[in-house]
Structure 1
Amino acid sequence: MTILPSIVRDEYISYVRLEKNYSVYTVLEYENDVEAFLSFLEGEGLTDLNEVTYPVARLYVTTLYDNGLSRATISRKISSVRSFYKFANARYDINDNAFRALHHPKKEERLPAFFYEEEMEQLFSACVGEDKKSLRDYAILEMLYATGIRVSELTSIRLGDIDNHLGIVMIMGKGRKERYVPFGSFAQSALDEFREKSRLLLMKQKEHDFLFVNLRGDPLTNRGVRHILNGMMEKASLHSKIYPHMIRHSFATHLLAAGADLRSVQELLGHSHLSSTQVYTHITKEHLRKTYMNTHPRA
C-alpha cells in the first residue's frame, strides 16, 4: 500500500514539534524544507516516497544549486529531508537509502561577522536616552552583549528568570535546555533603569511577565529586536549590515581575544559541541594577523 507523502509529512512535523520539542523556528524550517522537497517530487511526477532513488536525490541537490542557494542552506535541506526519511523508514518501512548515501556539500570557509569594541561603543552611545524607548533599547543591547544569548532567548526572558543578587539570568536555549548565564554591572544598571522607569509605562496596563515589551505593551518579538538594532545602526552611522547574531559573535570574539578559555565560552553560548565555538578562535587569530600586518614596522 502506497502511503501518501502528505500524510508522512504531517506526522513528521508533529513528531519534531511534540516529541523532539524543537523550537517554533526550527519546526518551521523543517516544515518548509520537507514541503519544498515534496513539491520537487510532484514536479518530477513521483507520488511514492519509495520511488526516490539516489539519482533522484542527486537531481534534487542539483536543483538547489541551480536556484542559487548557499552551501550551508543546501546542507540544512539535505539534513531535513534525511531526517524526514529516517522517520518514514521507522514508521512505514520506507526505503531511506537515497538520502542516507548523500554527502553534504563542503562548507564554505566564511567566518562570522562581528563588531570591534569601538563599534560596540558607538552602538551603545547611539541609544543613550532617558525616554522609555531609549531605556528599553539600551537594556536590550546591554543584555545581548553582556550574555551572548540568542535573540530568541532574549525575547523569552521573564521577570522571574533574573537573579539580581547573583547577577545571573536563566536562559531557555535550543532543545529546551536551561542554562544560567552571568551578566555584569553595566547590564545590571541598564536593567534596573528599564524596569524602574520604562517597563510599566510601556506595558499600558497589560498583564504578562515577559521582560522586554514593544511599544504596545506586548512581549517583544525577534523581528522587533531586529528592527531596534537596525535603528541603532542608523543612529550610530555604522554602515555595515547588522543582524542580531553579530552581537553574539562579538561577545564570543571579545572574550576569547581577552584570554577566556574555549570551554567557558562554549558553556556561556550554550553550544552542545565545542566545534561550534572553535570558529571564534579563527576570528581572533585573523584579527591578530591583521593588527600585526597593519602596525608592525617590518610586516
Structure 2
Amino acid sequence: MPRIGHYGERRRLLEASSAPDSMAAWMRRYLDALAVQGYSEDLLRARRQTLAVFLEWCGDRGLARPAEITLPILERYQRHLFQWRKADGEPLSLRGQALAITHLRHWFRWQVRHHHLPTNPAADLDLPRAPRVVLPEGLQAEEVDAVLAQPDVDDVQGLRDRALLELLYSTGVRRQEARNLSIFDLDFVHGVLRVRQGKGRKDRVVPIGERALAWVRRYLDTARPPLVVEAHETALFLNRFGRRLGNNGIAAIVRRAFDAAGVTKRGACHLFRHTMATQMLENGADIRYIQELLGHERLDTTQIYTHVSIGKLKEIHTATHPAAKLARTPDT
C-alpha cells in the first residue's frame, strides 16, 4: 500500500500517535520498563529500532493503536520484511526477520501482562527458520603469529596495538568488552582480567596468559603514559587524543594488522575469539570452561565450536577407531 499522502489523514495519525493508548506511547512505556529492569543500551537500541520500523509501517496503513493489530496484519508485515530489500538490493536475512518478529512478540506479550491487550496477536506468528550459524574459518597458528607481529613496538601506538592484539587473543573478550577495560581490571599477581558489564550486563573474571600480560605491562609502563591527557582517565587502551579507544578504533587496529599480515579471512576482532575457543577445544578443554570464558549464558551458544573443530575430531577418529582405515592385505 502506498504511503498516506492526504494532509488530513497524516494529521489524524500524528494526533493518534500522541494519544495515551497509541502504539508510540506503549512503545515508550515498554522501553522505559526495560531500562528500569536493567537491560543494556544495546538491547534497548535494537528494540527501539525494530519497533520504530513497525510503527512506521503501521502508520502508512492508518494503524495507530495496539488494539488494531491482528494476526493477519502481522502476517502481512512479515511478508513485507521478507520482500524488503536493502539499498544494495540484498534481502533482510532470515535471522534479521526472525529477530524483528521476536521483538514484536515480546512487546505485545508485555502489553498483555500489563492488561492493555486481552491477547497477544503475535503469539501464533511463525518465525522463519534461520540457518545454522556458520563461524568463519579460524586462524592457523602461523597466521596468529604473523598478525601479532605486525605492530611496530618501538612506536607508542604500535606498542599499544600489540598489547591489545595479545589481550584479545589470550582472553577471547569481545571488542566492546576490551573497549570498556580499565587499568584496574588487570590482576597481574593472579593472572586474571575482570570483564565488567559484558554482554547482558554481566561481570566475569577470565584468565590472561603470561605473554599477553607481559605486553600489557610493557604498554602500561612505556606507551600509555605518553598517551595520557587527563590524569583521571582510567581506560586501559587510549587513542592518540588520550581518550578511551572506541569500537571502531579497535576494529581498525585489528583489521590493519590482518591486512599487513596478508590474512584475508573475515571477522577481525571476533576471529581472535573464534580462534581461541576452537584451539582450546581441540587441545582438550571442557566446553563448559569455554562457555564460562566466553561469557555465554547458554551452553548451546558455545556448542557451535564443536562443529568448527571437526578436523581434530576426524584426526582422533582416524587414529583410534578400529574401522577407520581400509584394511590392507598382502596383495594390496
Taking structure 1 as the reference length, what is the TM-score of the superposition?
0.91
Match of 1:60 in 2: 77
Cα distance per residue 1:239-278 (max 9 Å; x no partner): 2333422221111111111111111001111111100000
- Could you list the structure 1 runs, at least 4 aligned residues long, displaced by more than 3 angstroms after superposition: 286-293
Structure 1 residue matching 2:48: 3-state secondary structure: helix
Cα offset, 1:127, TM superposition: 2.0
Which 5+ residue runs of structure 1 have no aligned equivalent?
Answer: none
Given candidates 169, 174, 189, the residue that maps to 1:150 is 174
Cα offset, 1:188, TM superposition: 0.5
Task: Give the AA of the match of 2:45.
Answer: L
Contact 1:33 1:77 in 2 (8 A): yes
Match of 1:4 in 2: 22
Higher helix share: 1
Matching of residue 195 in structure 1 with residue 212 in structure 2: no
Cα distance per residue 1:63-82 (max 9 Å; x no partner): 11112111111121122111
Match of 2:193 in 1: 169
Matches within 5 A, 1:110-259: 110-113=133-136, 114-172=138-196, 173-259=198-284
Hey, what's the Cα distance between the residues in 1 that align with 2:214 and 2:118?
58
Hey, what's the Cα distance between the residues in 2 that align with 1:95 and 1:117?
58
Cα offset, 1:96, TM superposition: 4.7
Inter-CA distance 95–154: structure 2 relative to 1 (3 Å threshold)? farther
Which 5+ residue runs of structure 2 have no aligned equivalent?
Answer: 1-18, 85-90, 319-323, 327-332
Hey, what's the Cα distance between the residues in 1 that align with 2:115 and 2:241?
48
Contact 1:210 1:219 in 2 (8 A): yes
Given candidates 29, 38, 42, the residue that maps to 2:55 is 38
Taking structure 2 as the reference length, what is the TM-score of the superposition?
0.83
Cα distance per residue 1:48-99 (max 9 Å; x no partner): 1111111111221211111211111112112211111122222352245221
Cα offset, 1:110, TM superposition: 3.4
Inter-CA distance 38–233: structure 2 relative to 1 (3 Å threshold)? same
Contact 1:167 1:188 in 2 (8 A): yes
Hey, what's the Cα distance between the residues in 1 that align with 2:132 and 2:99?
16
Cα distance per residue 1:205-255 (max 9 Å; x no partner): 453111111111111111211111121122112223334222211111111
Match of 1:87 in 2: 110
Hey, what's the Cα distance between the residues in 1 that align with 2:311 and 2:73?
41
Task: Give the AA of the match of 2:159.
Answer: L
Contact 2:183 2:234 in 1 (8 A): yes
Hey, what's the Cα distance between the residues in 2 that align with 1:272 and 1:76?
18
Structure 1 residue matching 2:193: 3-state secondary structure: strand
CA radius of gyration, larger in: 2
Deviates more, 1:52-61 or 1:262-271: 52-61
Inter-CA distance 88–151: structure 2 relative to 1 (3 Å threshold)? same
Hey, what's the Cα distance between the residues in 2 that align with 1:3 and 1:200?
55
Inter-CA distance 116–297: structure 2 relative to 1 (3 Å threshold)? farther
Contact 1:82 1:99 in 2 (8 A): yes
Task: Give the AA of the match of 2:69.
Answer: V
Cα offset, 1:12, TM superposition: 1.6
Deviates more, 1:107-116 or 1:153-162: 107-116
Match of 1:71 in 2: 94
Hey, what's the Cα distance between the residues in 2 that align with 1:287 and 1:102?
41
Hey, what's the Cα distance between the residues in 2 that align with 1:42 and 1:119?
52
Cα offset, 1:287, TM superposition: 6.3
With CA pairs under 8 Å and 6+ residues apart, which has the higher RCO, 1 or 2?
A: 1
Match of 1:99 in 2: 122
Match of 1:272 in 2: 297
Inter-CA distance 286–81: structure 2 relative to 1 (3 Å threshold)? farther
